[in-house]
Amino acid sequence: MRAAAEKGHTSAASLPGIPRASKLITSAVAAKSEATTSSPSTKPGHEVLLFEALQEGLEEEMEKDPRVCVMGEDVGHYGGSYKVTKGLAEKFGDLRVLDTPIAENSFTGMAIGAAMTGLRPIVEGMNMGFLLLAYNQISNNCGMLHYTSGGQFTIPIVIRGPGGVGRQLGAEHSQRLESYFQSVPGLQMVACSTPYNAKGLMKAAIRSENPVILYEHVLLYNLKERIPDEDYTCCLEKAELVRPGKDVTILTYSRMRHHVLQAAKTLINNGYDPEIIDIISLKPFDLYTIGNSIKKTHRVLIVEECMRTGGIGASLRSSIIDNFWDYLDAPIMCLSSQDVPTPYAGPLEDATVVQPPQIVKAVEQLCQ
Amino acid sequence: MAYVMRSSPSVQSGSLAPHSSASSVSSSASSSSYILRLGALNSQRSGRLSITRRAIGTANRRTRKPHGVSASTSELVAEKPSIKNALAITREEGLILYEDMVLGRSFEDMCAQMYYRGKMFGFVHLYNGQEAVSTGFVKCLKPEDYVCSTYRDHVHALSKGVPARAVMSELFGKATGICRGQGGSMHMFSKEHGLLGGFAFIGEGIPVATGAAFKTKYEREVLKNDKADAVTVAFFGDGTCNNGQFFECLNMAALWKLPIIFVVENNLWAIGMSHYRATSVPEIWKKGPAFGMPGIHVDGMDVLKVREVALEAVARARRGDGPTLVECETYRFRGHSLADPDELRKPAEKAHYAARDPIIALKKYLLESGLVDETDLRSIDKKIDEIVEDAVEFADASPLPPRSQLLENVFADPKGFGIGPDGKYRCEDPAFTAGTAQV
């Protein structure tokens, strides 16, 4: 265990950097007894990959409610470009799992019209970036139509798809649309990061009467986890406490959660006690969970994959300042991706997103 | 007395008698054996009296030629021979059509007045001159059918049954408006009457309409409800026909044989942009067959012709034979909106279409055919005047929306506003809707 120098605070018990008298921690995720929300399963459960969890959630809701249907490119016979809808067309038919022509704006609008008149469609963007073509419909009709119609029409639609920076997919396939859509009034946005919350959020989003955008990540589809057998949903508006701690609040979502967890291993070994929160709900923010954490740790680090400018982190920072200014002992740090189109070259691509060593350094800086 | 279109040229005031009446567009028609007549489609309509003709695309799959009816100067136009039993209307139908058109016209005229008196604001797009299209189509529909419109939507709303009071109130921005004052002129919606909007961006309503038609098909085939046969009519203009969403939806509707009718209100102008300056192939009806649906061209200043086409297209959709594209040649007597000085359109063109006023034409026909007499029509005029005046009075007397209404209806489920720092959902606080939305 490496000794860490005292950093000049008063109470020794809560000093960051002081080595804990415990063994080397190899896993940053809290042990089962401390866990609050990870996997409260009463039965043994079953192991799934993240894309299978999404598929299970989708299938279960389609079985439950015949109005639930899927629309998108290659969702039917092809089974979805990331296999989330695999097998569903065989089971439910070509109309319930609709292979659309390549016309994002129009089929998203079609899903909205169908939702207005009684169906509950799920629109898949083959890559979230393609939904830029549907921005007209997502902004004007999906987000705003409930309001402009004076509440007459509801649009219980789910828009989902893979986004984020992958492995050298090029700039256009590596976009983070959460920042582009966050201003649209009337939309809810959630990001899944584990098989457990993927299934739970998928089901909750389908059941919601509001239009929900569910952000998945290209690199997370093969994450494996044991999830409960019984029916469960995750709350669309609640953040997930991944690891309780005392020194710093790290707010993150999607793939960066895993980078944070990786960094946390190093941090814990160096004597830090980070509290890690996966915000899950990108819009609206769960200010209760976030606030309680800040009141405890007084330091905030946001780690996100969005661009620096106008990203989720920017909004979150601003929200925290509005609500919890008095509880902060240090300026809020925000680690975001570089404001650059994602380059193809490997090392450059790595440099655009936040990597674990940067997170470690940021925490060390924040806790000085 | 039966109405036979071509034998009573007096009905089409100001235009030459059209050659064709609506033909059967069912797939059982032997489309390959149509008498094909060469005709130079008169593309310069303004200033010249145009020949109106119908062109039917090849809907019959058995004899479909690849690339069906392609656009070229030797374009072969199928014309329907004269039919003895053309559209006949009863006295009651005639009165309904007349009343609906007069309601549309009077309402829009009152809107102009109210706008200039400072009772309504923003962008207001009036429908004067195009009444035959709305009346012709919407009066063929059942209450369960859907209508989807654009920003020029007041009259579509009225035709579909939305009370004049509710529309006028909405225009005045009052809480009693059909959308609680939250939509305005360009966003008329009515769940009760199947009006799916009211859209400000052109083209964005067409996919919504396509979705409503998709829902009918879904209801039949997935939910196994044999009785589901609601049809959707999408109205939009000539400018929209150069927009991607138009073509994308023509494709999807034909592909899945959706029960939808695409009605183009071609009034030749998109604000100040002439249709001919914006479109490589100005004959919009030709674009239907390119996607595998019939393309019909109809005189949109003649409500009976429009109705005849509408009845057929609606029947086609209802029995599951798929979509139809109908191009209505029509004209707006006023500018694009009340803010448009309307300086680009030539007086001769305006005069030509003013002489084809659909209300005057129907009135003339009804009187000459003996179906009604002057007193019938005058009493309708009076009734409409009263309705419109009552609508204004109601709107005037209605309250503006209270501040507390600001955040209602942002979400169907207000939990979407999220959880506040105190751990409660924001919507649980009764004072929330009076505050600011903050996430």
Residue A99, domain CATH: 3.40.50.970
Q: A286 and A141 share a domain?
A: no
pLDDT tens across A76-115, in order?
A: 999 999 999 999 999 999 999 999 999 999 999 999 999 9
Domain end marker among A227, A256, A271: A227
Which has the minimum average pLDDT: B26-30, B197-201, B226-230?
B26-30
A95:B222 CB<8 A: yes
CA distance B300 to B100: 15
Nearest CA in chain A to B419: A286
**In-domain check, residue A15:** no
pLDDT tens across A18-30, in order?
A: 444 445 555 555 4
**In-domain check, residue A29:** no
Q: A264 and A129 share a domain?
A: no
Q: To the nearest whole percent, how much of chain A has pLDDT over 70?
A: 88
Bridging pattern class, strands B260-266 and B269-270: unpaired
Residue range(s) defining the domain that contains residue A312: 240-366
Q: A91 and A163 share a domain?
A: yes
Q: A213 and A357 share a domain?
A: no
Q: A98 and A130 share a domain?
A: yes
**In-domain check, residue A233:** no
- pLDDT for the residue B135: 98
> By three-state DSSP, how is residue A225 classified?
strand
Q: To the nearest whole percent, how much of chain A has pLDDT over 90?
A: 88
A205: amino acid identity, one letter: A
- Helix runs in B16-163, H state only: 91-116, 131-138, 154-160
Q: To the nearest whole percent, how much of chain B has pLDDT over 70?
A: 79
**In-domain check, residue A31:** no
Q: A280 and A354 share a domain?
A: yes
pTM: 0.85
CA quadruple B402, B405, B406, B410: dihedral, nearest 10? -170
- Helix runs in B224-336, H state only: 244-255, 275-278, 287-290, 303-318
pLDDT tens across B107-122, in order?
A: 999 999 999 999 999 9
Q: A158 and A305 share a domain?
A: no
> By three-state DSSP, how is residue B132 classified?
helix
B204 touches A at CB < 8 Å: yes
B190:A155 CB<8 A: no
Domain end marker among A194, A227, A260: A227
**In-domain check, residue A235:** no
Q: A174 and A280 share a domain?
A: no
CA distance A256 to A262: 10
Do A236 and A208 touch, CB atoms closer than 8 A?
A: yes
E-only strand ranges, B257-340 = 260-266, 269-270, 273-274, 295-299, 324-329
Angle formed by the axes of helices B91-116 and B374-397, nearest 10°: 40
Which position has the higher pLDDT, B80 or B365? B365
pLDDT tens across A248-292, in order?
A: 999 999 999 999 999 999 999 999 999 999 999 999 999 999 999
Domain end marker among A227, A251, A283: A227
Q: A222 and A309 share a domain?
A: no
- pLDDT for the residue B389: 98
A337 touches B at CB < 8 Å: no
**In-domain check, residue A16:** no
Of A100, A140, A185, the CB nearest to B204: A140
- pLDDT for the residue B51: 33
Residues of B in contact with A185 (CB under 8 A): 410, 437
Question: Would you call the peptide bond into A16 cis, given omega within 30 degrees of 0 as the criterion?
Answer: no
Q: A86 and A167 share a domain?
A: yes
A217 is catalytic: no
CA distance B95 to A97: 47
Q: A64 and A198 share a domain?
A: yes
Q: A146 and A104 share a domain?
A: yes
Determine phi and psi for B433, rounding to 5 degrees: -65, -10
**In-domain check, residue A167:** yes
A104 is catalytic: yes
CA B132 to chain centre: 9
Nearest CA in chain A to B188: A149
How many domains is chain A built from?
2
CA distance A346 to A356: 17
